[in-house]
Amino acid sequence: GEVWRACLLSTNRIVAVKKAKVETQESVWNESEVAFMMSLQHERLVEFIGAGTMYDERNQGNVVFAVVEFLSGGSLDTRPTC
């Protein structure tokens, strides 16, 4: 899916917004699912900040997105592997 760089206005923090490939008429985020993702903490995981849905005029439907910690340095799929 698409990823955008954004700024949280409440904290002035730069974040990454990941749009899921799935498009749906209803929200697929479950409150307990989001709470669980937000509770995960590990030095090798990006911080999960939140999630939601928004209406996409181009596709005439709701899209699901996740907001996560922004890490500079490019995409992992363009990095050399061991």
pLDDT at 82: 56
User: Model confidence over 20-44: pLDDT tens digits?
Assistant: 766 555 556 778 888 888 898 888 8
At 78 the pLDDT is: 63
Q: What is the mean pLDDT of the chain?
A: 81
Assign 3-class secondary structure to the chain.
Answer: CCEEEEEECCCCEEEEEEEEEEEECCCCCCHHHHHHHHHCCCCCCCCEEEEEEEEECCCCEEEEEEEEECCCCCCHHHCCCC
pLDDT (0 to 100) of residue 15 = 94
pLDDT, mean of residues 43-67: 86
* Average pLDDT of span 1-16: 90
The residue whose two tokens read 């999960």 is 48
